[in-house]
Amino acid sequence: MGGVVDGVPAGVELNLPRIQEELDRRRPGQSKLTTQRKETDTVTLLSGVYEGRTTGTPIGFTILNGDVRSADYDHLVDRYRPSHADYTYEAKYGHRDHRGGGRASARETVSRVVAGAIARQMLEQMTPEAPPAVSAYVERVEDIAMPEAPAFHDKKTVDATPIRCPHAETAARMIARIKEVRKAGDTVGGAVTVVATQIPPGWGSPVFDKLHADLAKALWSLPAVKGLELGSGFSGTLMRGSEHNDPFVAKESGIGTSTNHSGGIQGGISNGENIVLRIGFKPVATIVEDQSTVNRDGIPTLVAGKGRHDPCVLPRAVPLVEAMVLLVLADHALRQRYARL
Amino acid sequence: MGGVVDGVPAGVELNLPRIQEELDRRRPGQSKLTTQRKETDTVTLLSGVYEGRTTGTPIGFTILNGDVRSADYDHLVDRYRPSHADYTYEAKYGHRDHRGGGRASARETVSRVVAGAIARQMLEQMTPEAPPAVSAYVERVEDIAMPEAPAFHDKKTVDATPIRCPHAETAARMIARIKEVRKAGDTVGGAVTVVATQIPPGWGSPVFDKLHADLAKALWSLPAVKGLELGSGFSGTLMRGSEHNDPFVAKESGIGTSTNHSGGIQGGISNGENIVLRIGFKPVATIVEDQSTVNRDGIPTLVAGKGRHDPCVLPRAVPLVEAMVLLVLADHALRQRYARL
Amino acid sequence: MGGVVDGVPAGVELNLPRIQEELDRRRPGQSKLTTQRKETDTVTLLSGVYEGRTTGTPIGFTILNGDVRSADYDHLVDRYRPSHADYTYEAKYGHRDHRGGGRASARETVSRVVAGAIARQMLEQMTPEAPPAVSAYVERVEDIAMPEAPAFHDKKTVDATPIRCPHAETAARMIARIKEVRKAGDTVGGAVTVVATQIPPGWGSPVFDKLHADLAKALWSLPAVKGLELGSGFSGTLMRGSEHNDPFVAKESGIGTSTNHSGGIQGGISNGENIVLRIGFKPVATIVEDQSTVNRDGIPTLVAGKGRHDPCVLPRAVPLVEAMVLLVLADHALRQRYARL
Amino acid sequence: MGGVVDGVPAGVELNLPRIQEELDRRRPGQSKLTTQRKETDTVTLLSGVYEGRTTGTPIGFTILNGDVRSADYDHLVDRYRPSHADYTYEAKYGHRDHRGGGRASARETVSRVVAGAIARQMLEQMTPEAPPAVSAYVERVEDIAMPEAPAFHDKKTVDATPIRCPHAETAARMIARIKEVRKAGDTVGGAVTVVATQIPPGWGSPVFDKLHADLAKALWSLPAVKGLELGSGFSGTLMRGSEHNDPFVAKESGIGTSTNHSGGIQGGISNGENIVLRIGFKPVATIVEDQSTVNRDGIPTLVAGKGRHDPCVLPRAVPLVEAMVLLVLADHALRQRYARL
């Protein structure tokens, strides 16, 4: 795997261990909760950095993986796994590399993590006096949800448990559920919440690239996403306008709102409050038991999940969600530089 | 208002009355449920069409509106309406046209409707033997929801009631609720469901422009959106993988799936099943009663909703939702033309 | 005609008469040297400006033209004018609006002039202490060329004669030649030189959007261009490296070069010296006498130039050339804002 | 070095040796005429190809080079080479990797050659019955020019001499001149002509991405370009319209023109005739003798050409020119697929 990050200004000091740290959060095999594939996922920067600082030119990178077993996928050459992209790729291209899901493999997300980690460092250095911060966590596994409203939880709190839920008692119940599901050879989904804090008012665009529209596209490009909410989300659609509106008030830091149903974005532009998004992830499609499907000729057949997969993708989705949010914020931070004369 | 639609192939027969018809569905003043502003919204094509057919060059258009009352907005010059974009625009640009919300006005959506109506005709003529169809409807107003699962309902059924809910009994309750809310000077939100049918398998892209990511960006660019679900949505995140996966089966039309939790898209690419999305809309921000806010200097003040606004935006959102889905599908229909040698 | 200019930062004071002034330089009928069509070309701004300053949102405009005579083009419906785009449009789209050349008409350049005039004001206000300036002039008509090396000549000097050649004696000879050619019903070409001065070092990009590559694309998008030279141009290809290299020297304003064979751009990035380009324009294709051609079926036929056209397009090309250069510089001026942390 | 080629349709059979062959044409050390650096330049495809055919997803590649000597560039860390990009990079980014010219190194052109070679195979397979062909050659070295008008010469003819001039007697004189220049430690420039044949009418776009505007941008993005001509070029600007216009005639293959001053493109769209472009290259900036320059502080100093460089870049520019033309044609070939319903 590898990629190219273009558009990073010159002069950003890149801390490589911090990039690797993010990759390690995504890596499989971190705990009993996730797949036992042993991807090492070591990032190497190939270009765009000189003497520790970005040069303004594209940053190329590769990520080496020590544990590929293509043979695990040999039985898939002529049949379609349910709720995977096998069939749709073939319908699109008429030709498909079936090994490990090919380009549809969730392994491609390693590149997103690297890019997001670079975006984070750039954002921090653009306004060192008030660095934006983005943190995600697992809010719900299946029907086990945190009892608290969304808030910013720092990485240390989030990573205190392998499920990455900052509420200890809920985390314990989530972990127990996942172990039970793993034993049954099945999978579960849930929800990740992400909060971006210290985002200055004014980022975004009124019509074509609304900040939340770009965030939506970015987050919906992650595998397994089924739902997205901004601020009050679907529960906000049950309120009356008089209750849902966020009154403006004077705050120490300037103008703000006393509630945040808007989720930090109004009319496609940040308003200085926390940006709050909730992403729903489906249960992973690869399960242990045999499933009925068809082959290329439409003949019914069975397919079994021989690969090494996750009973619950959520803890590993946390760094992905952060990465996608960071990338969008980085774009709009730079775009804001030419919003005014 | 006006706009330019570029990228429409030459040779599409454009039926202007059908475009106007879509605009009429969005127009205010259609019923007691919506704002009493009398926008006439008449579309005129300026370029890109010759002898009734597109020429392949950009289609410019204007939409005239007979009922603008800028003075309605004079009281807003120095204060920020709660949950409107007044403050964020000023934070972004340092300078703002306060009249009617300026570019943040939901009036800009007229251009989306025109573009969507062109996209619809293009899609129909690209595969006249199996024309794609897109239809949206109001599934829920506040807590009053249709009892049925999402399905394709044609325009005649949807437009049978002014609330655009195809379930007559639910529609009646929705209408009663909105009248009550209007009397109280307040507003309500809810959910619109959109279904695209006869979409061939293979539209979309694996990583950067996944079909549902593009749909998400398009739909989140509409005003007042708070949530989005694809297929099984958030309720799908409560299922187990064994239950959520959509088994492939042979159908008369080719390979399909026996359930459609995927909502017609797998790995970012259409699979030939119906594309199903649910969009949650917040209650409109403009209400009749006074609301507390601040002015440019952060001093607390009040703002009142003098303009003529909607108690419930949902029936007028139906053509907008369709338009955004049509535009994305049209893009991917054309992109599919160079997916294979 | 009309257009939309997007990406102009908020806060630029737009002087509308100055925009109109540029349009007037392009307008036909200014002198006996150009076509006698009486296009009035009055620009109206539709959006993006409030209280005289840009709002940061798209600037829409229209340009009304009081003298369209579509009937002048009726004889062209079934035959192809030599060296016009009639045939290629039909080959591309299978369907063509033949009136006035349709979208291929050089009338579309009015929109370029408006956009360029906006870019000019933006550039001036971005660095008011050292405003960039762009000026073009007619250097050569057919074989009648100015005896001097390219240099910056201000608009007053350039516009002193209707041919827009700042060298009076050469201008007189050019004018005499054009009158002679007009009498013969024929047309001539020549060369326009454009010089951009006070461009700071650092604008451009190393590989994908080199400053001169973007300038090349912009200038080659004007009608009738046959050649382009940067700095020393083709005559530079006759020099040896030891002679062609531009030695760096210390100047009052900073580091500069003692010669400027590079034409102000090195490695795709401006170096602070004058940017110097020469554009060769062919003789206009529309001539008075009958020309042989074919019709849609390939049958030989004749076509005559009934329309009202220019014997020499060069003086009217001057504002177009400036506009294209200004647009590219404006883009790169804004891009430079995110080149560094 | 490496890169990613996106947008190639699925199903193109990629012949890797043919890609390598193009790289070998660009490689230094092919003859006494070029630099003696021993870059091996071996291409490896990393993605986007399965069982010898493209999958429709991005094609990543790397090009290994066995002979990098960064130390050759150590003396450049604090001074600017005349007519190189050292100074402009520093002016842009405030920070620069001086080794080998960094991103400004002409070595980046290896990636262009790979991409162009892929484009060539794609174009050939899109219309196997009439495959487009693109061939370039050295038409002039300093003042030694071929006596013939531009025409299509196949690769075998072009590569018959190391200078890549298809006219044997001229080639011999060019070679003698270059040897003489090399002995003097100096460099020379000249002109490359490229001809694209069997290009169907209809490729291109009327206003924003004219075919020749895209070709201009692509070619001007190569290092050392000083001039560009299309068809009749600057000499066409000396003709009268009556003489320059290309009359349409019926040909066996359809409608064509009896002359080709237009160079195969009219109104931004191909007309089916040969596309003919001439590119002027300056003498390479790196020469053996000491040159005066300044250092970062503006203090005069000397710089000497210690690296191993070319006395004449032209024969190695031939595959680069072809690659850039092929890439643009490939884009427009695909775009033509959605020009009509």
Note the helical H segments in chain B.
16-26, 86-93, 109-126, 155-158, 168-183, 211-220, 233-236, 241-244, 314-335
Q: What is the pLDDT of residues A26-37, one digit of tens each?
A: 987 777 776 666
Q: Closest chain C residue to A205 measured between Cα atoms?
A: C57
Judging by beta carbons within 10 Å of its beta carbon (0-12, 13-18, 19+), is residue A17 exposed, middle or buried?
exposed
Mean pLDDT of all residues belonging to chain B: 92
> Considering only CB atoms, which chain A residues are within 8 Å of C340?
9-11, 56
Q: For residue C1, give the DSSP letter.
A: -
Stretch among A58-62, B94-98, D249-253 having the lowest mean pLDDT: B94-98
D237 to chain C, any CB pair closer than 8 A? The answer is: yes
> Considering only CB atoms, which chain B residues are within 8 Å of A76?
none
pTM comes to: 0.95
Judging by beta carbons within 10 Å of its beta carbon (0-12, 13-18, 19+), is residue B160 exposed, middle or buried?
middle
Amino acid found at B200: P
Where residue D305 falls among pLDDT bands split at 50, 70, 90?
A: low
D12 to chain B, any CB pair closer than 8 A? The answer is: yes
Mean pLDDT of all residues belonging to chain C: 92
- Phi first, then psi: give them for residue A202, nearest 5 degrees: 110, -10
pLDDT at B106 over 90: no
D247: nearest CB among C82, C204, C213:
C82
Higher pLDDT, D296 or A317: A317
Give Cα separations from B230 to A184, B192, B275, C132 (angstroms).
Answer: 27, 12, 8, 51
pLDDT at C282 over 80: yes
Between chains, do C97 and B55 touch, taking CB under 8 Å as contact?
yes
Where residue C304 falls among pLDDT bands split at 50, 70, 90?
A: confident
Percentage of residues in chain B having pLDDT higher than 70: 92
Q: What is the pLDDT of residues C7-60, one digit of tens each?
A: 999 999 999 999 999 999 998 777 777 666 666 889 999 999 999 999 999 999
Task: Report which of B340, B39, B333 is spatially closest to residue B214, judged by C-alpha positions.
Answer: B333
Mean pLDDT value of segment C269-297: 92
A:89-118 residues touching chain C, CB 8 A cutoff: none
Where residue D307 falls among pLDDT bands split at 50, 70, 90?
A: low
A83 CA: distance to closest CA in chain B (Å): 5
Query: Which is it for strands C291-294 and D49-50: parallel, antiparallel or unpaired?
Result: unpaired
Contact A85, D57 (CB under 8 A): no
Residue C332, helix vs strand vs coil: helix
pLDDT, residue C37, reads: 62
> Considering only CB atoms, which chain D residues are within 8 Å of B5?
none
B271 to chain A, any CB pair closer than 8 A? The answer is: yes
Mean pLDDT value of segment C144-163: 97
Judging by beta carbons within 10 Å of its beta carbon (0-12, 13-18, 19+), is residue C41 exposed, middle or buried?
buried
pLDDT at A319 over 90: yes
Contact B58, B280 (CB under 8 A): no
Stretch among A63-72, C261-270, C291-300, D92-101 having the lowest mean pLDDT: A63-72
Mean pLDDT value of segment D267-286: 96
Mean pLDDT of all residues belonging to chain D: 92
Where residue D64 falls among pLDDT bands split at 50, 70, 90?
A: confident
pLDDT, residue A30, reads: 77
Q: What is the pLDDT of residues A113-135, one digit of tens each?
A: 999 999 999 999 999 999 999 99
Mean pLDDT value of segment A288-301: 88
Contact D275, D257 (CB under 8 A): no
Contact A23, A31 (CB under 8 A): no
Mean pLDDT value of segment C264-271: 96
pLDDT at A17 over 80: yes
pLDDT at B38 over 70: no
CA D35 – CA D306 distance, rounded (Å): 12
For residue C299, the tally of other CB atoms under 10 A from its CB is 10
pLDDT, residue A96, reads: 74
- The chains in contact with chain A, meaning 3 or more Cβ pairs closer than 8 Å, are B, C, D
pLDDT at C97 over 80: no
Q: What is the pLDDT of residues C73-84, one digit of tens each?
A: 677 777 899 988
Mean pLDDT of all residues belonging to chain A: 92
B284 to chain A, any CB pair closer than 8 A? The answer is: yes
Higher pLDDT, A79 or B262: B262
CA D58 – CA B121 distance, rounded (Å): 32
CA A176 – CA A170 distance, rounded (Å): 10
For residue B252, the tally of other CB atoms under 10 A from its CB is 5
Q: For residue D139, give the DSSP letter.
A: E
CA A262 – CA A253 distance, rounded (Å): 19
Task: Report which of A138, A155, A280, A260 is spatially closest to residue A199, judged by C-alpha positions.
Answer: A260
Where residue B125 falls among pLDDT bands split at 50, 70, 90?
A: very high
Contact D315, D33 (CB under 8 A): yes
Q: Closest chain B residue to A185 measured between Cα atoms?
A: B242
Query: Which is it for strands A254-257 and A248-251: parallel, antiparallel or unpaired?
Result: antiparallel
Mean pLDDT value of segment B126-139: 97
Q: What is the DSSP string of B15-45?
A: -HHHHHHHHHHH-TTSSTTS-------EEEE
B191 to chain A, any CB pair closer than 8 A? The answer is: yes
pLDDT, residue C31, reads: 75
- What angle (nearest 5°) sits at the alpha carbon of residue A305, between those of residues A304 and A307? 140
Stretch among A123-132, A196-205, B93-102, C5-14 having the lowest mean pLDDT: B93-102
Q: What is the DSSP string of A120-187?
A: HHHHHHHSTTS--EEEEEEEEETTEE-SSPP----HHHHTTSTT--SSHHHHHHHHHHHHHHHHTT--
pLDDT, residue B72, reads: 60
Contact D162, D30 (CB under 8 A): yes
CA D52 – CA D13 distance, rounded (Å): 6
Which structural domains are found in chain D, ordered by start?
A: 2-338 (3.60.150.10)
Higher pLDDT, C190 or D35: C190
Chain D contact probe: residue of B54, B57, B341 with most D CBs at under 10 A: B341
Q: What is the pLDDT of residues B49-58, one digit of tens each?
A: 999 999 999 9
- What angle (nearest 5°) sits at the alpha carbon of residue C284, between those of residues C280 and C285? 125
pLDDT at B118 over 80: yes
Between chains, do B229 and A232 touch, taking CB under 8 Å as contact?
no
pLDDT at C148 over 70: yes
> Considering only CB atoms, which chain B residues are within 8 Å of D131?
none
Contact C293, D266 (CB under 8 A): no
Note the helical H segments in C16-130.
16-26, 86-93, 109-126
pLDDT, residue B95, reads: 77
Higher pLDDT, B196 or A94: B196
